[in-house]
Amino acid sequence: MKKLTLLGVICLALILTALPFMAACGAEEPAPVTPVPVTPAPVTPVTPAPAPVVVPAPAGEGVFTVLNPVANQPPIEVHALNPRLDTLDGKKVIVVNLRGGNEEAITSVGPDLQAAVPGCDVTSYTVKDKWGLLPPEIDMIVSEYDAAILGHNY
């Protein structure tokens, strides 16, 4: 390239400077902008939220599918209940204290039942053994009474 003369450089600079002005002169004139007053946002102190506590799962721990440790129950022969009495009037009822606790309460049932059903022959009985009825006692109750109330069941 031939050496630019000083005059050429100056002209080039002037042209480059004038280019935006020349483009603007060719564009449509923008609409006037009405400035909108801006209310500055109130500044309130903000307490920073605590950082969430992240407890990472122990390394390698997943889920466990576990087997059932509980045993099954065998088939059971079910017996029907004995027919109920039509009425307690004229019947013999025994109230058995099984000595399973709350003895004063179960003992009170005999007299209260007698008072409620005067025609019923109510007997109160306390088992001889601490752990319930012995076979001879069961035989006695079945042979001599029409019904039984037993308590306290534990």
Partner 1 sequence: MEKAGIPCVLETWDFPDIIGITEDTFLLNGVPEIRQVLTPPDTTLTSLREYIPEFIDALTRPLTDEEKWSGTYEPPGQPRILMTGTYDEVQSYFEGDLTRFPVGVAPVALMTDGQPVVPPTEDRVARMLTGTSHSPDEIIEIKHQRSGQVQYLATVEKVAINAVMAGCKPEYMPVALAMSESNLPVGGPTDCTSGQMYVVSGPIAKEIGMNAFFEVLGPGNPANSTLGRAAALMGVNLGGCQMGVSTIGRHGDNIWGLTFAEATDRSPWEGLNVDCGFGADESVLVNFGGAIGIMPPCSASFQIPLDLKEFQASMPEGIEASLEGKIGSIGLVFFTPDTAELWKEEYGFETMQELQDYLFDNCEITAGDMRKHYSFVHLKQRILANPPGSRTLNPDHLELPDDALVPVFCEGPDAAKIIVTGGDGMQWGWGRSSSVKSTLIDKWR
Q: At its nearest, how many Å lie between partner 1 and the CB of residue 52? A: 20
Residues 95-134, mask of contacts with partner 1 (x by CB under 8 A): -----xxx-xxx-xx--xx--xx----------xxxx-xx
Burial class of 14 by CB neighbour count within 10 A (0 to 12, 13 to 18, 19+): exposed
Q: How many CB atoms lie within 10 A of CB 96?
A: 22
Nearer to partner 1, 11 or 146 (CB): 146
Choices 8-16, 21-29, 41-49, 67-75 (CB under 8 A): range interacting with partner 1: 67-75
Nearer to partner 1, 47 or 65 (CB): 65
Q: How many residues touch partner 1 (CB under 8 A)?
A: 61
CA separation for the pair 150, 94 (Å, rounded): 8
User: Would you count residue 59 as binding partner 1 (CB under 8 A)?
Assistant: no
Q: Are 106 and 152 contacting, i.e. CB atoms less than 8 angstroms apart?
A: yes
- Say which residue the tokens 């005067």 belong to: 118
Q: At its nearest, how many Å lie between partner 1 and the CB of residue 50? A: 24
CA separation for the pair 154, 127 (Å, rounded): 14
Q: What is the four-CA torsion angle of 108, 109, 114, 117, rounded to 10 degrees?
A: 140
Site residues (vs partner 1, CB under 8 A) = 61-88, 93, 100-102, 104-106, 108-109, 112-113, 116-117, 128-131, 133-134, 138-139, 141-142, 145-154
